[in-house]
Amino acid sequence: MKILMSAYSCEPHIGSERAVGWGLVQAVAKHHQVWVLTRPDEGKEAIEAELKRNPNPNLNFVYFTLPIWGGAWKWGFGSMQLHYYLWQIQAYFVARRLHRQIGFDISHHVTFVKYSRPSFLSLLPIPFVWGPVGGGEFAPKSFWKDFSLKNKIHERVRSLACKVFESDPFAIITARRSILAQATTEDTARRVRQMGANNVQIEPAIGLLTEEIEQLNQNKLPNQSPIRFLSIGRLLHWKGFSLGLRAFAQANLKDAEYWIIGDGPERQRLETLVQELGIINQVKFWNNLPREATLDKISECSVLVHPSLHDSGAFVCLEAMAAGRPVICLNLGGPALQVTEETGFKIAAITPKQVTEDLAKAMKTLVNNPELCLRMGEAGYNRVKEVFNWDVKGQNLICKYKEILEKPRATQSKKLTKCIN
């Protein structure tokens, strides 16, 4: 097959959106010819270096950026969103020219994974796959009472913005023209269906490379005291770090520590909370760390605590599971699809008080049962290897491509059967 992919963010050996772009395109290119539309000003240097080390004749990158205002994506979140939208328009004209030369079988929008933004590749006269896309997850209203006024405004503005962008005619066209729309969670899937997509499937966007999984699994659980809990991420109100700290204090684990890696606007508030809870001698803030240093910290800890209130996906959960660490998360969003009862604890998100109590119980259970930690860690590693390995995800996607192309055009919009290799 000749496959055209749009990956606004794409870069090897890094996390977040860029890892999604790279992971998916390189996995598919192991089996078929892939052309990737992306930008030269974010990941080109790393991509070219990786292809020099590991050549793949199936993988072709087409770099371009806006002729005017090309570097505006660096100016901030709002500028990046506008740049992304305009870049997608430009991508259509680049793709149309390439299609005339090459004759693609299928097109696929990969990143950004934002459901409320259009992909103009959907206008090409070939089958179009959209996603996985996310962003339709929101913090339960019962947790807003602990947000500051500024953060409550943030949540309301975010909700309003999603409704506005959902009404974009081009976003609606993208949804309706997709032969297959993949959504990271049921929350996002519901919104994509409302936009007119006929065939929507749940598919987590994130994965890990085989070599990353095996490297992480070399870090066995530490068997010495103190047992360490770890949380990783930007220090934002919806990440739920305050819930984790309150639970740690309530669990009253004298021979334990809680490490937090990351930085952000909630840092001072969290440090004040640690003092108020009387656990200042047990909590350590590590600021932002490079990815390799972060993975080293995972090896020094026993349990990942990820109490986020709305994540489409969470690389840290996969990385911890691959490293054989149990994960405690909320039963919300992407983490709820990654973690199972065999690999950790998924806490129902009803009220802040209830979550704090249940997080504390899970922490105490793992501290008092080292064998359970080992069993959950082993199950987590196996789950990542079997489900969230980019090679596995790439093969499953190829199966879907083939099914799309083998079906008569009139029936392609019907729901695809689940592919099993």
What pLDDT was estimated at residue 420? Answer: 37
Q: What pLDDT does 314 receive?
A: 87
Burial of 290 (0-12, 13-18, 19+ CB in 10 A): exposed
pLDDT in tens, 186-237: 999 999 999 999 999 999 999 999 988 998 988 888 776 788 999 999 999 9
Rounded mean pLDDT of 23-50? 92
56-79: pLDDT as tens digits: 999 999 999 887 665 655 555 567
What does the block give as tokens for 66? 């806006």
Contact status, residue 3 vs residue 108, Cβ threshold 8 Å: yes
Q: Would you say residue 412 has pLDDT above 70?
A: no
Instruction: Confirm or reject CATH 3.40.50.2000 for domain 212-387, answering yes or no.
Output: yes
For 278-289, what is each residue's pLDDT tens digit? 999 999 999 888
pLDDT of residue 417: 43
pLDDT, residue 225, reads 72
For residue 75, what pLDDT is reported? Answer: 55
Average pLDDT over residues 142-165: 89
Per-residue pLDDT of 275-319, as tens digits, reads 999 999 999 999 888 888 888 899 899 999 999 998 888 889 999
Percent of the chain whose predicted confidence (pLDDT) is above 90: 72
Question: With 50 as the cut, is the pLDDT of residue 92 above it?
Answer: yes
Model pLDDT, residue 132:
93
Same fold, 2-207+389-411 and 212-387: yes
* Confidence band, pLDDT 50/70/90 cuts, at residue 181: very high
Q: Domain-by-domain residue ranges, the chain?
A: 2-207+389-411, 212-387
pLDDT at 363 over 70: yes
Task: List, edge to edge, every strand of the sheet that includes 283-285.
Answer: 283-285, 256-261, 227-232, 303-306, 327-330, 344-347
pLDDT at 70: 57
pLDDT at residue number 185: 93
Whole-number pLDDT of residue 74:
57
**Does the pLDDT at position 242 exceed 90?**
yes
The span from the CA of 346 to the CA of 357, in Å, is 13
CATH H-level superfamily of 2-207+389-411: Glycogen Phosphorylase B; (3.40.50.2000)
Residue 418 has pLDDT above 50, yes or no: no
Q: What confidence score (pLDDT) does residue 229 get?
A: 96
